[in-house]
Amino acid sequence: MDLLNTLVDKGLRRELPTREEALAVLATSDDDVLDVVAAAGKVRRKWFGRRVKLNYLVNLKSGLCPEDCSYCSQRLGSKADILKYTWLKPEQASQAAAAGLAGGAKRVCLVASGRGPTDRDIDRVAGTIKAIKDENENVEVCACLGLLSDGQAERLREAGADAYNHNLNTSEATYGDITTTHTYADRVDTVSKAHAAGLSACSGLIAGMGESDEDLVDVVFALRELDPDSVPVNFLIPMEGTPLAAEWHLTPQRCLRILAMVRFVCPDVEVRIAGGREVHLRTMQPLALHLANSIFLGDYLTSEGQAGKADLEMIADAGFEVEGAGDVTLPEHRVTAGGGCGSHAGAGCGSHEDAGCGSHEGGGVCGTAAPAVAASTVNEARTDLVAVRRRGAGTDLAPNA
């Protein structure tokens, strides 16, 4: 296929595809999906070999968010039966992080629900970062606390944070259909603040909210322009009690095409499969490792993920290897160009679940109806695969890692 040959050549040169080429990837048929994966896999292996980076989420403060992000189970007005608790103490967060690190995670993503942190919240998170790094010298820490005010990114950097996550989620044109309590420009501003402070910027998207192919390409092209080190790709988890609980528009094949498009547009950045991979990719998750070089280990913020042991077995069975603490995630040209955290650059936080960590776990578009989706793209609802997290942070039960 001439399209795929062209995209491989461009990806190996770090050249931006045209919008038409990116749209054409999303328009390929299910019959061609293995060819698409094989082509994008060449680009992935050029820049990241067969390494898979593991990231682990710690939900520092769960639920009761004043923002109305409709994809989120922690949103204002959410009726989702999730865990709700205030800030974990530093030692509690460190203990939760230790489980993920013991399971092979290289980066810990610290997430808190809310519009954005107060200065006191920054102090809390600084104490948590210190507690984690005192116990684990080489760990990377990514913070995901919502919209940042002036000076807060610098304070996080001084406290030892390596990265900051804040997702764009969808295109600027449709952002107002998802959230009304803040703007797309607010999110761009926070990513820019993280960049300017010397933090490794992490910003991604959520697919499956009824968006068009054009919307997906728009947001990925916008991300390429922002130049984050890490791009988490979330697939909407339609959780009961959120506006999009009935929206099931993704098939495993479409998820693979979306990941391939992201890889072609962002060839040399860390692409992470974040929330929803277990729900929508299901048994085709191993194929996605040929496209993305990073995943979350274990559970997400408010929903359960695949067992950590199963994640590790999947990586090994697919012929990949877990990235070690001594490995540099990003290609050398991005690290030497000042890609954020030096040898630890490029880990992003992306898991969608609220304002937090690039990982989504709810789903909705501000109570509005999702645009019509062609019948061929409508997936069967698999509500049996959506389970609320009842273990780990904020509970007395051992975490999944």
Token pair 């980066």 is found at: 107
352 vs 360: CA distance, rounded Å: 2
Q: Is 72 designated active site? A: yes
Catalytic site residue from 69, 144, 255, 357 = 69
81 neighbors 32 (Cβ within 8 angstroms): no
Catalytic site residue from 65, 144, 266, 341 = 65
Catalytic site residue from 155, 187, 254, 272 = 272
Q: Radius of gyration (Cα) for the chain, nearest Å?
A: 19
Catalytic site residue from 72, 144, 266, 341 = 72
240 vs 219: CA distance, rounded Å: 27
113 vs 103: CA distance, rounded Å: 25
Catalytic site residue from 124, 142, 341, 349 = 142
**Residue 120 marked in a binding site:** no
Catalytic site residue from 44, 107, 144, 202 = 202
**Residue 124 marked in a binding site:** no
**Residue 202 marked in a binding site:** yes
Q: Is 266 designated active site? A: no
SS3 for 141? strand
11 vs 47: CA distance, rounded Å: 9
**Residue 65 marked in a binding site:** yes
**Residue 142 marked in a binding site:** yes
Q: Is 144 designated active site? A: no
Q: Is 357 designated active site? A: no
- Enter the tokens of residue 3: 């399209």
363 neighbors 270 (Cβ within 8 angstroms): no
Q: Is 366 designated active site? A: no
**Residue 341 marked in a binding site:** no
**Residue 349 marked in a binding site:** no
- Enter the tokens of residue 45: 């292996």
Catalytic site residue from 44, 75, 107, 109 = 109
Q: CA–CA distance from 185 to each of 5, 147, 191, 222 (Å)?
A: 36, 11, 10, 12
Q: Residues within the annotated binding site for [4Fe-4S] cluster?
A: 65, 69, 72
Q: Residues within the annotated binding site for [2Fe-2S] cluster?
A: 109, 142, 202, 272
Active site residues: 65, 69, 72, 109, 142, 202, 272
Q: Residues within the annotated binding site?
A: 65, 69, 72, 109, 142, 202, 272
